[in-house]
Each structure stands twice: as structure tokens, then as C-alpha cells.
Amino acid sequence: MDKLTIDTTQNVTIEYEIGSLGDRILATIIDVLILFGYYIFMAIITGILGQTLGKAFYILVLIIILPALFYPLLCETFMNGQSFGKRARKIKVIRIDGRQASFGNYLMRWLIGLIEVNFYGVIALITIVINGKGQRLGDMAAGTAVIKLKPGESIGSTAFTQVEETYIPVFPQVSTLSDTDAGTIRQVLLLNDIENEYIIKDKLAAKIKDLLKISSILDSDTFLKIVLKDFNKINGTIE
């Protein structure tokens, strides 16, 4: 099974399972069906209103076409790297450095995708198969990849979680960590049932202890969870 290997700024290697070709094809089929349903519904509406709109009918047609044209871009931008099809198949677009993709990344994927679709997706399929990172041309240009979300992983996973108001940080030194550092801890904590999971967590915990000059006998998993919780408390929480 193909893996996306990411080396973080803490020199900790994280592996993500690449979204399979089958999942991506099924996600595309789901999205196409959604758009097909959208077109049928809007065709009925335009058929009803067409005779009364006159020249404004063409403006209505343009308004109908545009959302469908921008569907992939809009979905990935507002659904954190997913479309409805990707969400159904539990796959997601991320940057190949492991960070949340930006609008610029999604825009580049979409623009190249407009070219790829002209070849009936054949070029995309070939590129995904031979690339090794499961990337189509749009992904390669945008610096992104499509990964498989693990069971129980939040679609919008970030370094931030809600912390109770009465919580008192255990390690105030975490105030010196960056958002990127906290994001790496979050990613490592989401690793479940993979090879070398505990080695990765032990390595990261050791790096954090050395960086923050912390001495602790807590196991690595518990230590990292407390560090992340402290980070959220000190830096503020979001929903």
C-alpha cells in the first residue's frame, strides 16, 4: 500500500496512507452524480422560467453553469480539502509537507484539472498510477496529495481543541512552541495501529522534552497529549 512520507521540522517522520485509485474514482463518480442531479433540477427550473425571462434566460444559464464549473475548487476550499465524494470515501487533499492545503494549492489543482478532464481523465489516471505518491498532474503542480483518513480522524483536524476553562497547564514552557510544532504533535497523536507508531511518539516526546528542558516520567502518548492541551490553553482555544 502506497505511503506518503513527511519529515517534520522536528525531524520526525510521519507516514500517511495514500488515497487509493479506487477511492478517488468512486469519489469522482459520487461528485459527478451530485452535479448531474444539480443540472436536472436546474434544467427543470429554467424550463419553467425560460419563456418568461427573455434575454435574462442566458444570464440564468450562466449562473447555473458557474457553480458546477467551480464545484471542485469551492468544495475543497470550504470543506478542508474534500468534496462530498471525497468525504464519503474518507479521503482528503493535503500538502505534501503535511500541512493544511491553502486556497492557492486548491486553485492550482483545479486549474490543471480543467486540462486533465479534456482527456477524459486518462492522463490523471496514468499519472496517479506511476507517480508513487498518488498524485495527478494537478497535485504535482500544487504540491498536494490525497490521503486516506484514519477511522475516527476528524476531517478538520488541527492543532487546536477545546479546553475546559478551569484547566491549569502542566508545562508552561509550551508557550515557546509554534503552531507548526503543535500541528506535528497533533499529527503524531492521530497515528493509530501503524508500524513504528510508538517509536515515532517516543522520538517526538524526546525532542519536545529536550527543546523545552522538561523532565517527565510520563509515557510518550500521555506526555504529548498534555503538551498539546497546555498549548491550547496558553494560546487560546477555538471551536
Instruction: Supply the mean pLDDT for the chain.
Output: 82
Strands (E), 62-131: 91-95
**Measured between alpha carbons, how far is 21 from 6 in angstroms, rounded to an integer?**
21
Q: Which pLDDT value is given to residue 54?
A: 66
pTM: 0.65
pLDDT band at 238 (very low <50, low <70, confident <90, very high): very low
**Measured between alpha carbons, how far is 158 from 190 in angstroms, rounded to an integer?**
11
Cβ atoms 87, 79 nearer than 8 A: yes
Q: Which pLDDT value is given to residue 189?
A: 82
Q: Which pLDDT value is given to residue 59?
A: 74
Listed by start position, the domains of the chain span 3-148, 172-234
Percent of the chain scoring above 90 in pLDDT: 31
Q: Which pLDDT value is given to residue 55?
A: 67
Could you count the other beta carbons within 10 Å of the beta carbon of residue 31?
Answer: 18
**Measured between alpha carbons, how far is 15 from 44 in angstroms, rounded to an integer?**
48
Weakest-pLDDT range from 28-32, 79-83, 154-158: 154-158
Cβ atoms 155, 93 nearer than 8 A: no
Widest pairwise Cα distance in the chain? 77
pLDDT tens figures, 220-234: 989 998 998 888 888
> What grid cell was written down for 155?
476531517
SS3 217: coil
Q: Which pLDDT value is given to residue 72?
A: 94
pLDDT band at 157 (very low <50, low <70, confident <90, very high): very low
pLDDT tens figures, 109-127: 999 998 888 777 788 888 9
Rg (CA), the chain: 22
SS3 35: helix
pLDDT at 193 over 70: no
Q: DSSP class of residue 91? A: E
